[in-house]
């Protein structure tokens, strides 16, 4: 019998664990992880193409991270929030140097927490309360962050925050507005969306919060020029622009931060997931004038783990490794290898409707029919099962009006051979799912 079938383990899990999402847990017991792989109780290696929860940019148990945790735990891990340590100041300085203009930094724990702080700051600074987000967004499961999350989790929890508005995110594969050549007319879509926002607003628009690539929304990338146009819409209305780079930050897209491709600096940027390489670390970065205005108005966002030295030291090490090992450039090279392989699968299999994304954040959309683009939810689920059976962990999101979209985000440390291995397994899995073999 497989060691993953441990009856006592699963009986205890069923009895004591809260089920925090509609899906079930993977039926395996993970004993350890290293590099691009996790290992189950049978010692089977499973290639992790989601970087844990889209976070482990350096892979699992990276030796530099392990050394930093061991060292910092022996010095100081947590303090009264009014005290400062060298790792905190160093990480803030390093981040500010990487994102000129966003020179004020607050270190927190999770993406939801950093988005809460960003939205709270925007409301205080502008004196307004209305927040706009994309209808396919995910910014967290707490308070204001949940009110700005539209891809899931809105039903059954009571009213969202007053002044919560949503607009459609641009989707080049399923465009709502088209140019004469059939391409996505995102400018007309954006104009139309803000006309509706203006009609609903009470004159209290405080901020727009956006992901440069909407991950839980199905890897929807803001096209070139969109971010600048969105910046203009915000400026015209006195709104602050908040960019949530939880998954796109720290090199994953081939830039240190995704917004840098467009040359558009937000008023506030939030980081999480990738900054801690799998440990709970987040940051809110903002312009000095925004921070000053917030401070003058008595900004309060005081948490138990603000400015904790242990995760801050890990963040410094993450930046060290990314720079030392050229991982931003590797994300571009490995991402191109991955996209080329996925496009080859698209040529082979009719069910692969679209391949999109940047760097090592790629979406693979599964459809039942390429002409109608009918969502292939069941087929996508079969492919997921076939991948896992062959030793590849893949994550699929299912949204109304879209096919099942695989979010493919290997660690930035992934090797060429591991990319090829993942592509080979995907090809086998799609083939098996399509033929039913």
Give one DSSP letter per residue of 214-270, joined into a string: ETTTTSEEPPTTHHHHHHHHHHHHTPEEEEE-TTTTTTTTSSSSGGGGTT---SEEE
Topology of the domain covering 3-61+326-435: 3.90.1150
Res 80 pLDDT > 60: yes
Annotated active-site residue in 106, 247, 252, 358:
247
Residue 293 near residue 125, CB atoms below 8 Å: yes
Order of all β-strands in the sheet with 268-271 = 104-108, 282-286, 268-271, 240-244, 205-210, 130-134, 164-167
Task: Show the CA angle centred on residue 10, arms to residues 9 and 13, nearest 5°.
Answer: 90
Residue range(s) of every CATH 3.90.1150.10 domain in the chain: 3-61+326-435
Annotated active-site residue in 48, 116, 130, 244:
244
pLDDT in tens, 218-231: 999 999 999 999 99
Annotated active-site residue in 273, 287, 356, 382:
273
Q: Is 428 tagged catalytic?
A: no
Res 93 pLDDT > 90: yes
Query: How far is Cα 97 from Cα 367, in angstroms, rounded to an integer?
Result: 43
Res 397 pLDDT > 80: yes
Q: Given pLDDT bands bounded at 50, 70 and 90, which one contains residue 289?
A: very high
Q: Is 273 tagged catalytic?
A: yes
Annotated active-site residue in 106, 138, 189, 334:
138
Annotated active-site residue in 40, 48, 211, 308:
211
Q: DSSP H helical segments within 297-394, as ranges?
A: 309-324, 327-348, 377-389
Query: What is the dotted CATH code of the domain comprising 76-324?
Result: 3.40.640.10
Q: Is 186 tagged catalytic?
A: no
What per-residue string of b and e applies to 354-370 under the rule 16 or more CB within 10 Å gives b? bbbbbbbbbbbbbbbee
Residue range(s) of every CATH 3.40.640.10 domain in the chain: 76-324
Helix (H) or strand (E) holding 365: strand 361-369
Radius of gyration of the chain, Cα coordinates, nearest whole angstrom? 22
Res 304 pLDDT > 70: yes
Q: Is 244 tagged catalytic?
A: yes
Q: Which residue has the higher pLDDT, 67 or 404?
A: 67
Q: Is 289 tagged catalytic?
A: no
* pTM for the full predicted model: 0.97
Q: Is 138 tagged catalytic?
A: yes
Output the six-digit token pair for 327.
């991982």
Annotated active-site residue in 245, 356, 407, 418:
407
Res 401 pLDDT > 90: no
- Tokens 């910092």 appear where? 72
% residues pLDDT > 90 (the chain) = 95
């Amino acid at each position: 019998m497989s060691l993953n079938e441990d009856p006592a383990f699963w009986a205890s899990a069923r009895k004591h664990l809260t089920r925090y999402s509609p899906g079930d847990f993977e039926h395996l017991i993970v004993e350890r992880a290293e590099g691009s792989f996790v290992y189950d109780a049978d010692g089977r290696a499973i290639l992790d193409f989601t970087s844990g929860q889209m976070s482990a940019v350096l892979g699992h148990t990276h030796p530099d991270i392990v050394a930093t945790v061991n060292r910092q735990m022996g010095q100081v891990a947590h303090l009264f929030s009014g005290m400062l340590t060298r790792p905190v100041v160093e990480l803030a300085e390093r981040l500010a140097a990487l994102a000129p203009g966003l020179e004020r930094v607050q270190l927190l724990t999770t993406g939801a927490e950093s988005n809460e702080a960003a939205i709270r700051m925007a409301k205080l600074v502008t004196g307004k309360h209305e927040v706009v987000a994309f209808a396919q967004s995910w910014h967290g499961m707490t308070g204001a962050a949940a009110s700005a999350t539209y891809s899931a989790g809105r039903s059954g929890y009571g009213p969202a925050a007053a002044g919560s508005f949503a607009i459609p995110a641009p989707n080049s594969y399923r465009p709502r507005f088209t140019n004469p050549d059939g391409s996505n007319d995102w400018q007309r879509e954006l104009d139309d969306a803000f006309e509706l926002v203006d009609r609903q607003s009470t004159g209290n628009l405080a901020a727009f919060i956006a992901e440069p690539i909407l991950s839980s929304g199905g890897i929807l990338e803001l096209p070139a020029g969109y971010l600048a146009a969105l910046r203009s819409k915000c400026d015209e209305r006195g709104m602050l622009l908040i960019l949530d780079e939880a998954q796109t930050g720290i090199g994953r897209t081939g830039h240190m931060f995704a917004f840098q491709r467009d040359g558009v600096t937000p008023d506030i940027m939030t980081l999480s997931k990738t900054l801690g390489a799998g440990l709970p670390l987040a940051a809110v970065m903002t312009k000095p004038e925004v921070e000053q205005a917030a401070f003058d108005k008595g900004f309060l966002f005081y948490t138990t783990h603000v400015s904790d030295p242990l995760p801050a030291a890990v963040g410094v090490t993450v930046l060290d490794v990314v720079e030392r090992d050229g991982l931003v450039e590797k994300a571009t090279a490995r991402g191109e290898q991955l996209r080329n392989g996925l496009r080859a699968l698209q040529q082979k299999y009719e069910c692969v409707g679209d391949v999109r994304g940047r760097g090592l954040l790629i979406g693979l959309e599964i459809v039942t029919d390429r002409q109608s683009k009918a969502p292939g939810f069941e087929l996508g689920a079969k492919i997921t099962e076939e991948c896992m059976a062959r030793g590849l962990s893949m994550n699929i999101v299912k949204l109304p009006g879209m096919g099942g979209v695989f979010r493919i985000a290997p660690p930035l440390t992934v090797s060429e051979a591991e990319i090829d291995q993942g592509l080979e397994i995907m090809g086998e899995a799609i083939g098996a799912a399509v033929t039913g073999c």
